[in-house]
Amino acid sequence: MLLAGPVLAEPEAACQVPDGLVQADFAMPRVADAIAAKTLEIAVLGSASSALAGPAGAGKAYPGPLEAALKAALPGVTVTVSTFAKPKQSAAEMQAAIPAILADKKPALVIWQSGTADAIRGVDPEDFRIALEEGTEALQKGGADVMLMNMQFSPRTESMIAVNAYADAMRFVALQHSVNLFDRFAVMKHWNEAGIFDLTTVTKKMDMAERVHACFGKLLARLILDGVALTREERKANDRP
């Protein structure tokens, strides 16, 4: 879906979004503690849209730019972003992988990207919500902060795939469990409507997708660092060490 037309803005300007669209509403205490300990492990749990095709796809998809952005912002901290992405996975299928990820990587943060496969399959939105809720609870009990990421926006499939109920379910779970949401759908819709990225025209070239993912990485890093700053502010207000 990201194989769309040309970038219509300069690279740095292309990553800009309106104020408030990407911001931390909740603290990230486990990430803050990991940074203080100089080792930050992040796991990305998702589907095909968390990866890119081709031999360079693993490094160009957003987990790669995210890792690079955090390393640049956190000198002296060892940052590792591991990706657990499989095509066409539902939220329930991703949920089943959580215990192994927690045991293997012991991440301070899990970014959970979901929604599209469930919408395409026509999974009951309530079942989708339950899987997200139970998975989020398992991650938090396992010692990880959680960030949810919703589906991509595509003007070419918007009328064919009903995603609103799944986006609403994800927003509900984020609020109920005090976890941050990266609203990828709203970000991409803004880029398309503002003429920053042309997400309508189909092309087989990968440069467009790579630039979009590079922007995702930068925005995710900013959101994570905002969550860490919020943690520090809350601890200072509570006189916590």
Please report, in tens digits, the pLDDT of each residue of the chain (241 residues total).
Answer: 333 333 334 445 668 888 889 999 999 999 999 999 999 999 999 987 676 655 454 567 899 999 999 999 999 999 999 999 888 899 999 999 999 999 999 999 999 999 989 998 999 999 999 999 999 999 999 999 999 999 988 765 555 567 899 999 999 999 999 999 999 999 988 888 888 877 776 555 567 778 888 999 999 999 999 999 999 999 999 875 5
The 109-113 sheet, strands edge to edge: 78-85, 39-46, 109-113, 145-149, 180-182
pTM greater than 0.75 (yes/no):
yes
CA–CA gap between residue 117 and residue 99 (Å, rounded): 21
Going from the C-alpha of 146 to that of each of 24, 29, 31, 41, 107, the distances in angstroms are 12, 11, 10, 12, 10
